[in-house]
């Protein structure tokens, strides 16, 4: 855990645990929200797995990005997650929009 704290620039185990909790809540919430969003868009498993699952995964990605910063803010870790978001999006070539 010390290596992870050093890599992320964290100062305490408490902060590391809060960050893990935020990641867990965000992932679960994004996956849960993808179901009603796909239903709202009319994309169901009746269209076939080759349409449903790629669409669902593409929908989870932006939902996750927004939730990560929002839930991180609620837990008092906005700065960490905003920097994490910018780094992640820059790897996808979208970092220029968030400088």
> With a threshold of 0.75, does the pTM exceed it?
yes
Tokens coding 71: 């839930």
Q: How far apart are CA 73 and CA 75, in angstroms?
A: 5
DSSP state of 20: H
- Tens digit of each residue's pLDDT (9 = 90 or more) over 52-97: 999 899 888 889 999 999 999 999 999 999 999 888 888 877 666 6
| Cα 71 off chain centre by | 10
- Sequence-distant (≥ 6) Cβ neighbours of residue 31 within 8 angstroms: 60
Looking up tokens 């902060």, which residue turns up?
15
- Tens digit of each residue's pLDDT (9 = 90 or more) over 23-37: 999 999 998 998 899
Q: Are 55 and 42 in contact (CB under 8 A)?
A: no
């Amino acid at each position: 855990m010390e290596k992870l704290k050093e890599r992320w620039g964290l100062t305490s185990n408490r902060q590391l645990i809060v960050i893990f909790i935020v990641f867990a809540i965000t992932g679960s919430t994004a996956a849960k929200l993808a179901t009603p969003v796909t239903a709202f868009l009319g994309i169901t498993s009746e269209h076939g797995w080759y349409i449903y699952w790629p669409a669902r995964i593409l929908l989870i990605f932006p939902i996750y990005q927004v939730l990560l910063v929002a839930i991180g803010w609620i837990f008092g870790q906005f700065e960490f997650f905003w920097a994490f978001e910018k780094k992640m999006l820059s790897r996808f070539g979208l970092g220029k929009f968030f400088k």
